[in-house]
Structure 1
């Protein structure tokens, strides 16, 4: 808030800061390099300002009065001579004087505010993801302390007491806490200490001592005493030692953990932390070390330039920690952190190219926003993104996995090989320890992929190891199986993005299995047709055997008897006429039976209203042959059915009435039909006593299968 005092104040193009090391007022390291004094090379960060317009730099009020007079004067007189010392060599330069406007104020503040807000935001996100995790708590402490240090780099409070208090509560506290928290975090990730766990708190006592010494020297809590300067120097040394110790231990542990080992999660997390810290902390550390060693910075470089790299370490460390933790909205949060990490890295990689243009806060924020918009274009699913992906980006990881999976299982024909391939590819895609594919829920129909895992031991494995995720294999009539995924070899939990990919793969697997099942059924159609033909032939042979063959078999014997009776007398002639009448009746019955069989084989016209007429004619023929009464209860016209449906209905009614006539021993068969919204409902019942199916079994040499009577409803 105190920096708003800069607005409207006259300046010669540099901010000054008290430097205890040089015992002078030096150019502040946060001065934007785009300001004219630094952009022209007349001044550099760390130069000791001695006089401004001949007035000693310590007399700030008189200098402000002189600069205001110059600013209010003619443009040709808005220049002032500044005497300074650089590397113990005196210099005098003439610099333009101007008022600090809103844009110049933004050049000072935007970079610091953006970095501080990034520290606070990442600390809050990590803490809220797992509030009770010690590593998350220490991470939040580390970056909250970093944010305090950033916001304390510059202020313009007019009251010295307020300024000293602000400095004490920000930049004085941060070095002590940063060193102790970094040491603590180094002993927690990627894997906490198993022995002597108390060591992680070892640097907090000296941090409290250094903090007390700093506060005493800044706020004069113990009053004036001759050793106050020694307290300040001791506090600075303690802070520097703590930060150095924390950094060395952190980098050392990460280097040890990054070596190839049995725990893949530890190795990957350590490598990610090393990469993010190498990109995000190394530039800031190099600038700080150079400044402490030489009390100045190279041209076109300020402390803000190093701070711009800090978001890389922020997001990289947060991603490395949260990647192996389970919490709500994990997938979206990690995706957002990845976008921020990539954006910050891209913006910082562009900084060396922008050095000739004098990088300041607004310029860096503009580059960062452009990089973030570009990154979000690649990550977010929008209509523009989908159109771009459709034409230019066909090989994103998930879609590449889906494409390779689809191609592999489409080219695999045997069911066992297909499902084994599916299990193997799903396991490779998710880096899972094992994958099990089950069909129909039976243990005998199970395919497993995994190192050292056998289907026979799958039940024992599931009893001791819980599946990380599962997805149903959908078929036309519901679920036909399930895919279970074991824990990942990397230790990562599955999130909503992973479940989306798994659902996509199982849906495609279900479609392939459905198509293959239909193809298998189509392959069996010729056999089914042949079996139906043989069954129909067997039925016809049985009908002919029962209805026609007895008459034809008895006909030669009857003719022989007729021949003998022709040579007899009157009584023989009377018997002959009786025999002829009996054979005439049998011939008529046999002809009627043949017509009935032929009528059943022929398909009548079943379109529209003719359906019920054809059904009635068929039922009357069947009942008339058996001398059973038919009660036909149909009072309305038949609806228009498809040809296949009408044929199925006709054959079903024929068979049902035939069963009722042959097996129920009833005197009447009742047939009732009605239309229901384009459908037909037919009820067939009889008043017989039913039959025992075991008593209806015929000899198998005739090929007739047993049938069951309708019985009473």
Structure 2
């Protein structure tokens, strides 16, 4: 059936073009010709597309039959206009065949949409009544009674569509709503069309039979009506676009022909028609470019795909973030039903991100950087009739290469950060150990040696050579002890090493409370952090409180230390004038940020009824 429908569609389109040429040659362009030809093209291509789906076959047959009738009407009109042999019979048929491509749109199609069956068996007579009034409209006598019958049949058919909408689920309701919108447009034009200028009214009438087809297209594209696979959906859109462009061209030629036929010479009218054709061709190219992007993604624009990938991954900091952003981008770029990114963890693949459902037998591209496999890009295949071509596969390979490069860079950055944090924590632990060893070992030894030398020196006679030598040695020992003390104090903030972080911060806050600013401390669930964290947190509190005292003009300053899910959160808030937007970070702020981020923490400054400095430190060692 599909091949027969395609053959019939080709004949219908050829007949439409031939009929238009015959009519234009004999009588010139008319609105009626534009309307009939548009119906022939749009209905035919829509019907062929829907016939390819089992669920949409009945609706497709209705549309194809109406498009065939419209094309036959145009062809017979052109034949009769040329007064060729048998032209009177052709004119007689073209006078009533319009009913078969116009009336069913309002009497039959609403009763069958969207599944090709009446809403219930009780509504089946509505379909037969629609076919009957179509035949009666072709007969045309008595026309007044037939017109009433057509209107009644159309209203009942639309009523069945409303009943179907009430009984349907949310997805089917959205599908049916588009056709109800089309029916509303028809009623609006029928009621208020007389208020429009002649050409505007004719253009609006031209869209009346096309509106339901556009409604079906929206239902297909937005809600996957009939389960149409990708190739059918693309065929439908491309053919519908072709029909609409052809209809627009005919409408423009009809409008200009009517307006210019009496005012200018035939040569000028010919030039105007050529200009319209050129503009239509330009519009077709732009529309085709847009539709190519809609249907095939970035297949024909690989550089745009890579640029979009670079933009999306520009600020991605981790491999998981890169995978999360890359999956939907690749799916959109290739119009794939689903894409997944699996990263290697301890040599085993683990799916990190997924967009859609890749389905069976996907395309798998290894993510390799510098000879090392980092993961796999899994791209779901499209419909059987729309496999990935050479351009698609090259684009997939290029996207995979750039994703792998981004993953490698993120991994290297993470390893460097982890190494830096380990070095900082190791240095902090080593400084603490040396401080304790110097404080508890070498310092007391030097002090004891100095005291022993003083005792020996006092046992000697004053002014003797031995006494002078021992005094000199004692002074040097005491100088060494002071140097050890200086080294101890420089290794780590003394209060932190001696008292611990919480006590050291509390001592500092109590000293500041004696000043004009009321300082308070809140502690919640804080355990003693690693030395590097304690040192950095203490110095951040000192710098932030110093900034409050020097610059904020605040009455209160609140310091808080809280333990939150494996991290230490330090906040210093004041009610001063605020730091203001677009501030330039000075040495103090830069130093705080550097201390926090160097051990994997997060640092932020916000201004809301004052200034809040926030530092979050990880408590788990890397």
**TM-score when normalising by structure 2:** 0.43
- Pick the structure with greater CA Rg: 1
**TM-score when normalising by structure 1:** 0.38
Whose helix proportion is higher, 1 or 2?
2
